[in-house]
Structure 1
Amino acid sequence: MQMLKLLSRGEYKTNEGYQALVTAKQSVKWYKEVWNKMAIPKHMFILWLAVLDRMQLKERLFRFQIVPDENCLLCGTKKETIEHLFFDCHLCYQALNQIKDWLGWHTAASTIPKILRWVAKARMTRFRKQVYSTTVAALVYHLWWCRNEALWNHKVYRVSIVVRRIQSNVKNRVRSYMPNKIQHIDQDWFDQL
């Protein structure tokens, strides 16, 4: 309809035509936490898929009769859904708690949307929010990686190994993208991690 109005006026501008064709932009509250420039791109992508509930989990694959069962690959006790994998599964829940202890993170949030909302609303410096967002992305990515290792290589890693990988990834990534101007208190906090 908008396109017809543009054409009937006799003057057509490419930008206006494009805007008429493109649907309205959807605003989401988790944008800054998911697409954090300090995080590793593949971690952000997997977190984005998890937030949108578009991961190829066994529950979804079972519905299309691609896999024979829908049990979690890490614990084998419940259906592998996004809610179970992030963070009802005992292995994933333990990893989340160890990461919270490592960061000194005091929140009861235990689902991806609630964790991202908490990070967005938390009263802390921008640097700390970026570190928390980077850690959430790394946590989700590594739990997904751990799940895929169980699927393809029949290996289930110990929580301590997964947590060490997350800590190493986060420390190395943040050090390489450390802002030039950072408060001393934030620098000290990060150095103690």
Structure 2
Amino acid sequence: MLVKWTRCTVVDRRGFERGQRKWAGLLGEPGFRGQGGGWSRARPGVVAHVFSFWESRAFYDSFMARSHDRLAATQSGSYKDLQVKLFDHRFDVKTGFEPRFTDADVARVAHCRVHEDRVEHFALMQEKVWNPAMAGSPGMLRGVFGEAPGNEFVVLSMWRSAAEHGKYRVERVERLGLRAQTDADVAALSGDVVQLESTWTV
């Protein structure tokens, strides 16, 4: 599975949201698995995140060559600073990941650039330390761990409520980071908590 993460700064909120609904045209595209997103909780109405999922890179490339520009045209001029990243699914966080957004209130996205000699250790710690901790946290629904060329990784997790995600952060993150030696693995880390918008779900 291919995970696409799009982040942008919105300059015309109404135009952007109107265009976002037009992405319902993705339904029926070969290989399309699902899409959802929302506003950064740190910068609501300004920074938007959209996550989409495809069976494979081949299906995604075919869509980009055929239908993408027509759908994207409806949002033209409503945003700036567009950043798009593609990741190959490496494993699920929890089990049986499905690209569904309807039962989640927030998503947490973490983007890591990892030192080259620490990549395997980082992935192993994700599997053995972070995954079980997240999977066992109240309100954590599902997630995905993806990898891109250049030692880049994404961890996307869906949560039933912002409060439950906040509780996990306060109680667990520092302790888990020490156990996983995250500081030694990670060259750069950025992320956001996204308030999901139901009208953006495809």
Task: Indicate the structure (1 or 2) with the bigger Cα radius of gyration.
Answer: 1
- TM-score, normalised to structure 2's length? 0.27
TM-score computed with the length of structure 1 as normaliser: 0.28
Q: Name the one with the larger helix percent.
A: 1
| More strand as a share of residues | 2
Which structure carries more relative contact order (alpha carbon 8 Å, separation 6+)? 2
